[in-house]
Chain A
Amino acid sequence: LAKTTQPISMDSYEGQEVNITCSHNNIATNDYITWYQQFPSQGPRFIIQGYKTKVTNEVASLFIPADRKSSTLSLPRVSLSDTAVYYCLVGAGLYSSASKIIFGSGTRLSIRP
């Protein structure tokens, strides 16, 4: 199981772009990288998933270098409502068996006015 390392916390301001980097040196060939967002007393919410290069959806972008040993979640123009804990997870590969996903400590993002 690939272990992930993220900054414990980050601060930013409304309207800024926020980049959260995750290290996963032991990522396996068939592992995908998935990011989740969690608000207090709620279940994690899926943000984005990728395998390599760049993935973009309506809420975020995910940048993955060629060696796939790290990834960066990019949140454009954050607002106060983006204050949450963000988890980087590795696993659930393509056509994989039911591999389990272990949560790391996550990054507590605080957005200020």
Chain B
Amino acid sequence: GAVVSQHPSRVICKSGTSVKIECRSLDFQATTMFWYRQFPKQSLMLMATSNEGSKATYEQGVEKDKFLINHASLTLSTLTVTSAHPEDSSFYICSARGRQGNTDTQYFGPGTRLTVL
């Protein structure tokens, strides 16, 4: 199956700093990437949809100025958590939409554990 990578796998930062998370589709081109957040024992929550070359579409309740998304190429999307606070500590997961045969499928990255002190 298709491979999606994320970097870093875990990051610890001080409150008030910004953190950038990269999501790459390694063996396919992804016109659309998605960013999710997951708190312990909960399901994945969609934060935003990122289309290559255009602005991201954010879900209701997600601050676009706090969670900056850039989808500069068909294989790379980045999520920057600006002025991070302890409540932003979570597991962030990206996914990329790719074509397998005649169907579109989302492939997920391994996730990034963010801890804000």
Residues of A whose CB lies within 8 Å of any CB of B are 32, 34, 36, 41-46, 49, 51, 87, 92-96, 98, 100-106
**A50 to chain B: closest residue by CB:** B103
B 33-74 binary contact with A (CB < 8 Å = 1; else 0): 010100000011110010100000000000000000000000
- B24 close to A (CB within 8 Å): no
A106 to chain B, nearest CB (A): 6
Count A-B pairs with CB separation below 8 Å.
65
Contacts A43-B93, A94-B102 given; indicate if A103 touches B46 (C-beta within 8 A): yes
Question: Can you list 24 A-B pairs with a CB-CB distance of less than 8 A?
Answer: A34-B106, A36-B108, A41-B113, A42-B111, A43-B6, A43-B95, A43-B108, A43-B111, A45-B108, A46-B1, A46-B106, A51-B103, A92-B97, A92-B104, A92-B106, A94-B102, A94-B103, A98-B32, A98-B97, A100-B34, A101-B46, A101-B106, A104-B43, A105-B43
Contact B45 A103 (CB under 8 A): yes
Docked Cα-Cα span, A98 to B77, in Å, equals 16
Interface of B: prevailing SS: strand
Residues of A within 8 A of B108 (CB): 36, 43-46
Question: What's the nearest-Cβ distance from chain A to residue B54, in Å?
Answer: 11
Give 9 new A-B contacts, CB below 8 A, not counting A42-B110, A43-B108.
A32-B103, A43-B4, A44-B108, A46-B108, A49-B103, A87-B44, A98-B32, A98-B51, A100-B34
B105 within 8 A of A: yes
Q: Smallest CB–CB gap between B101 and chain A, Å?
A: 10
